[in-house]
Amino acid sequence: MYKKPYGRFSRSTPSRFGGPNRGRRQGFSSRSSFSDFSKYINKNPEALVEEIYTPQTKITELNINERLKNNILQKGYKDLTPIQDKTIPLIIDGKDIIGIANTGTGKTGAFLIPMINKTYSDINQKVLIIAPTRELAQQINTEFRSFASGMNLFSTLCIGGTSMFSQRKDLNRVHNFLICTPGRVKDLAQRGWVNLSLYNNIVIDEVDRMFDMGFQKDISLILGLLPKTRQALFFSATVSNDIEILINKYLVSPIKISINEKKSATHIMQDIIRTSSPSEKMTVLHDMLIKPEFSKVLIFIKTKWSLNEIEKELKDRGFLVTSIHGNKTQVARQKSLAHFRENRTKILLATDVAARGLDIDNVSHVINFDRPATYDDYIHRIGRTGRGNKKGIALTFVN
């Protein structure tokens, strides 16, 4: 277990979290449905490392356009990840796919590479990609532009928090890919500003998170507006009964590809930090953040209200910190992410919804200041560190 460092800052800094009543009001003592502390602990992650995966297909052997192949290699790809190796050939063959894998396993490339190749080969192909959050949709759009560089293919990004009228103009421009969040594309379709019957390929990323966020009806409505003849790709970390119902209704003889769930946590040292009160919790967090090894830290907090309080407390203590949550404008969220990505600040506070699917390099630590509600949430949180075979550390506060 992490040993609390009683340095010169341990008791000297006044805390705004000192009173027990105040701590309860902020929800620090709320019980989580996920209460098995042992699942937060893995002090020897190397023991879980499996044999190095050897792809069945090399990038140079993929049955895709040479320009696309060169773009992949120029991005620094040396080998396909397991989810890419197992799904790309099937997608190229026109199969409906259910890809079960955690974030950080290369899912974006798994669907973008074959879909870019398909649209390049046939100008009548149009692709609709739906992601649960604005940030993830923007990341997919950025990856698309990188993979499709010089191929005369175009994307339109339609997400909440930005002008719907400017997006209407974008939709009138030639585009092969529409990358969006579910609520925004549903609104655009209901206004008659986008004709979803023109999109004969559908990709839904992080289906499980869509359902967690209450987008079941939106997804069903969108799928119902697509042409009956289409190729469908669903990617998810887990597949619940509700998702199975959706799959059975809208996919044709889908092939299920499942990647080992432990894969994303292979390089992450995980441990718990026991504290007895909100004030001690903040003190321990302070003492960790002043250590040089905490070089790029993502801190998860349960509610937007608590996040704002903690952000102010850390700033009062002299830390340079930024944050993302649902109440921030899209411009503010992007600014915060840019500062964190570019190392202008080393601490990013986030709620689960806002940080879902974020791909940020070199996060040294994930700290669960508030415990996750479910084990799936835990896996998604800690997957922000230890990416790309790098080592990471995940620490979870428990009472």
Output the domain CATH number for residue 309: 3.40.50.300
Answer whether residue 334 is part of any domain.
yes
SS (H, E, C) 168-214: HHHHHCCCCEEEECHHHHHHHHHCCCCCHHHCCEEEECCHHHHHHCC
User: Cα(232)–Cα(243) distance, rounded to whole angstroms?
Assistant: 14
Position 43 scores a pLDDT of: 76
Q: Which of 235, 259, 283 is the last residue of a domain?
A: 259
> Are 196 and 128 spatial neighbours (Cβ–Cβ below 8 Å)?
yes
Q: Is 92 exposed, middle or buried (0-12, 13-18, 19+ CB in 10 A)?
A: middle
Whether residues 246 and 369 fall in one domain: no
Whether residues 238 and 370 fall in one domain: no
* Beta carbons within 8 Å of 269's beta carbon, 6+ residues apart: 42, 43, 44, 45, 391, 392, 393, 394
Whether residues 252 and 270 fall in one domain: no
Answer whether residue 12 is part of any domain.
no
Answer whether residue 8 is part of any domain.
no
Question: What is the extent of the structural domain holding 386?
Answer: 20-48+263-398
Position 21 scores a pLDDT of: 37
Position 301 scores a pLDDT of: 95
Whether residues 252 and 276 fall in one domain: no
Answer whether residue 228 is part of any domain.
yes
Which two tokens mark 328? 């921030």
Answer whether residue 222 is part of any domain.
yes
Return the amino acid letter for 4. Answer: K
Whether residues 223 and 301 fall in one domain: no
Q: Which of 259, 290, 317 is the last residue of a domain?
A: 259
Whether residues 291 and 378 fall in one domain: yes
Whether residues 36 and 98 fall in one domain: no
Residues in the chain: 399
Return the amino acid letter for 362. Answer: N
Whether residues 155 and 284 fall in one domain: no
Answer whether residue 213 is part of any domain.
yes
Whether residues 309 and 240 fall in one domain: no
Whether residues 166 and 272 fall in one domain: no
Whether residues 285 and 167 fall in one domain: no
Helices (H), the chain: 20-25, 66-74, 82-92, 107-121, 134-147, 164-172, 182-190, 207-212, 216-225, 241-250, 278-289, 304-316, 330-341, 352-355, 375-382
pTM: 0.68
The shares of helix, strand and coil residues in the chain, as percent rounded to the nearest 5, are 40, 15, 45
The CA distances from residue 105 to 101, 127, 128, 247, 334, in Å, are: 7, 22, 21, 22, 23
Q: Is 136 exposed, middle or buried (0-12, 13-18, 19+ CB in 10 A)?
A: buried
Answer whether residue 14 is part of any domain.
no
Position 358 scores a pLDDT of: 74
Q: Which of 259, 292, 309 is the last residue of a domain?
A: 259
Q: Is the dihedral of CA 304, 310, 311, 313 positive or negative?
A: positive
Could you give the number of structural domains in the chain?
A: 2
Whether residues 225 and 301 fall in one domain: no
* 3-state secondary structure at position 370: coil
Answer whether residue 11 is part of any domain.
no
Classify residue 165 as left (phi > 0), alpha (psi -120 to 50) or beta: alpha
Mean pLDDT by 10 residues, the chain (399 residues): 38 43 35 60 63 83 95 92 95 96 85 98 96 91 96 95 89 96 94 96 92 87 95 90 90 89 66 90 95 95 93 95 85 87 93 72 93 82 78 91
